[in-house]
Chain A
Amino acid sequence: MAENNCTLKTTPGYFAVSEHIIDVAALRAALGSEADGAVVTFEGIVRNHNEGKPVRSLFYEACSELAQGEAEAIFQEAEARFGLTRIVCVHRVGALNVGDTAVFVGVSTAHRGESFDGCRFIIDAIKHRLPIWKKEEYLDGSSNWVNCQCREDSP
């Protein structure tokens, strides 16, 4: 009867910005239904290097209200293009360490092709459109807001 125990609102999609560790299992549980034959999930993980520089940690900042509206617009586009049944996305903010999950995207559809394509579309759109910013802190003590062409080298 009940398709799952998750109470997340997943139509057209669930989006949240969170200061807490992303509970991947709980988000996965909100995906899929008896009519869905495919679930695709993606996790963006903090890695220890970028553009040749060793990264120690990341700091993410978001404008939650604007991000919510833009995420809903992305979900509506994705739903129309790929027929996604469910969409779940959570983006972390605050200080993250190497290995932490920075973003989770999960979708479900009747068939796998639409799930793969829809998930890819959503993560790409999120990276380019959501008002979320990333500051990289490097092993040498310097830091940089990514894409802002402004490097603040430590003295």
Chain B
Amino acid sequence: MSAQTKTITVTIRYFALLREETGKASETLTLEQGTLADLYKHLQERYKLSLPIGAIRAAVNNRFCSWQTDLGEGAEIVFVPPVAGG
């Protein structure tokens, strides 16, 4: 990260397979400002996540959002693996 890069702090909650693969239910990260897709790719590398981005949906502050959404300071993020209710 260069000194000029703006950083933000976000909270991520993990469920189901993502919770097991990351080994945590949530975490707070400070990272370079970017999109939801940038963040998932970062996490995929960091935790060797098995689910491709195409299999996942993402929500910010309790609303489903597109992968191009820019993350803001304090965002609360949920990555939603393929669901199977009922």
Residues on A facing B (Cβ under 8 Å): 44, 60-63, 65-66, 69, 91, 102-103, 123, 126-135, 145-150
Contacts and interface: CB of A to CB of B under 8 A. Distances in A.
B17 interface: yes
B84 interface: yes
B83 A132 contact: yes
Given A66-B59, A148-B51, A131 B78 contact: yes
A37 to B, nearest CB: 27
Contact of B83 (A65, A102, A147): A147
The residue among A102, A123, A146 with the most chain B CB atoms within 10 A of its own CB is A146
B85 A66 contact: no
Contacts of A150: 17, 50-51
Interface residues of B, number: 21
B37 to A, nearest CB: 19
Given A61-B15, A148-B16, A148-B51, A133 B86 contact: no
A131 B15 contact: yes
Interface of B: 13, 15-17, 19-20, 50-51, 55, 59, 62-64, 78, 80-86
A69 B62 contact: yes
Contacts of A148: 16-17, 50-51, 55, 81-82
B85 A63 contact: no
A39 B26 CA distance: 41
Given A66-B78, A66-B80, A145 B17 contact: yes
A15 to B, nearest CB: 12
B78 A146 contact: no
